[in-house]
Amino acid sequence: MTENTVISEDSQRYLGRDAQRNNILAARVVAETVKTTLGPKGMDKMLVDRVGNIIVTNDGVTILDEMEIEHPAAKMVVEIAKTQEEEVGDGTTTAVMLAGKLLENAERLLDKKIHPTIITKGYRWAEEKAQQLLKELSVEIDSEEELAKVAQTAMTGKGAEYMKEKFGAIVVEAIKLVSENGKANLDDIKIEKQKGQSIEDTELIKGVVIDKERVSMEMPQKVENAKIALIEEALEIRGPETEAKISISSPEQLQGFINQEDSILKSKVEKVKLSGANVLMCQKGIDEVVQFYLAKAGIYTIRRVAKTDMQKLAKATGAKIVSKLNDLTTEDLGFAQSVEEKKEGEEGMTYVLGCKNPKALTILIRGGTDHVIDEIERALRDALGDVAATLKDSKVVAGGGAIEMEVSRRLREFAQTLKGRERLAVEEFAETLEFIPTTLAENAGMDPIDVLTELKASHDANNRNTGLNLFTGKVEDTLMKGILEPLKVKTQAIASATEVAIMILRIDDVVAAKKTKGNSATPSAMHGFD
């Protein structure tokens, strides 16, 4: 029986070395895409979607998330970026670059007729040794100043350099306020954006800021000792689900109908008043008649509040989110010292301050354009992730490629103790780590060969914290200079990159699978890198 009688002639298939070559190329293309964004001197990418929306960023996970990627191996590499982001909040570009370089170096070994199983075994040994070395080379930190340095390192290259001291202080304060037993829940920190004013006006607000204004100007602008009701239900009269006709034969009937409708809407407001609430946050719409009566009752009201904001308000104020207005009681209300509408230009925002839960925080980002604000948000999220990761184990490593160079040097020493072909794989792993300082130098317009030579000489002389200070353009002790990176970011990046590289190397056959129910996928997904 021939192969063609088993698999459909229409099916696409890559076998053996072709499959490996194809997958490695796909992973390398993804790594090359984000390579130029690495470091404080990295370049930005402009991403334009089909309707013309623009994103300008050098954030690795954002770039990969927005790109249209078809090749299955390339998608596997993108997944590690997402995992890196979820686990530690930063280091996505590093993880993807290491994965691409590991596969590129593995290809050299494959060309020498070394079996993928031997390469993957060597890579596993190297990864285990690298993890051990990272822990040995890490240093403990405990001061807020050092945590601020971690935040500043994370933000460099993301449009926030000239404000990094202020942003670093905001990030550290926010993390300190929400952390418990050394763990910070980043969901407690809300990031809100407002166009107008300058980036310098970005501030940390101890409370919740909602991007909504009160529904009526007749309502009070500020409410002290706010008793807050959170309602999911629309405060409107729902129309019939099926078409219906109402026959009205006299003006009295019409007036009666209007009065009845008005009475129903008024009763909704009475229900809110009865609970004792003086602030109402509604997830859905509010009828104009209801708005009128709420204003008359002096109840500060905002509508169409996002579900995530409702959840944050519930956590911050101690209120319960009530699905039906009729179920609202005094016990369901939350508390805040004040609820106030503040206007910046024409746009108003609601500030809920002095909350029951002191861990409710909002970072309000201001800036001239949406593109600037969005990039600052990504920089702050990276910084928050890094500081939170550092707080877990209080350990950092020297940045600027210093840690990669030192681990690389020690891996080469480790390789000398090995026998067999696995040694070659360990050496290639060591060479992969040098790709990080090389790229940092390249992106900064420096000669990568000169830099690498200087770094190697310094590390051979036992200066283990020597890395690239790209602000001075010199090779120096980055730990002393305050260029710090969380240990967790590095361990996760190396673990993720190794895992995906091994997984791709073990694939020796790529076959277009048959369609599953509800899936219109075609073998064209395999065309990406023909």
Annotation says 93 is catalytic: yes
What b/e string do you get for 383-414 counting C-beta neighbours within 10 Å, with b at 16 or more?
Answer: bbbbbbbbbeebbbbbbbbbbbbbbbbbbeeb
The catalytic position among 90, 188, 382, 386 is 382
Give the residue carrying structure tokens 């184990």. 393
Long-range contacts of 9-17 (CB under 8 A, 24+ apart): 10/523, 11/511, 11/512, 11/523, 12/511, 12/512, 12/523, 12/526, 13/509, 13/510, 13/511, 13/512, 14/509, 14/510, 14/526, 15/508, 15/509, 16/508, 16/509, 17/110
Q: How far apart are CA 234 and CA 285, in angstroms?
A: 5
Give the residue carrying structure tokens 């290491």. 98
Q: Is 339 helix (H, G, I), strand (E, B) or coil?
A: strand
Q: How far apart are CA 99 and CA 498, in angstroms?
A: 6
The catalytic position among 33, 37, 57, 59 is 59
Annotation says 382 is catalytic: yes
The catalytic position among 33, 93, 120, 439 is 93
Residues 97 and 29: beta-carbon distance below 8 Å: no
Residues 412 and 432: beta-carbon distance below 8 Å: no
The separation between the first and the last C-alpha atoms of the chain, rounded to the nearest angstrom, is 29
Q: How far apart are CA 210 and CA 193, in angstroms?
A: 10
Q: How far apart are CA 186 and CA 193, in angstroms?
A: 17
Residue 506 phi/psi, 5-degree rounding, is: -80, -5
Name residue 340's beta-bridge partners: 222, 351
Annotation says 59 is catalytic: yes
Q: How many CA atoms lie within 13 A of 404 on its CB side?
A: 27
Q: How far apart are CA 95 and CA 31, in angstroms?
A: 9
Residue 6 phi/psi, 5-degree rounding, is: -95, -45
User: Residue 94 to residues 45, 101, 437: CA-CA distances in angstroms?
Assistant: 16, 10, 11
Annotation says 37 is catalytic: no
* Number of other CB atoms surrounding residue 132 within 10 Å: 13
Q: How far apart are CA 292 and CA 167, in angstroms?
A: 42
The catalytic position among 37, 62, 83, 92 is 92
Which positions are catalytic? 59, 92-93, 382
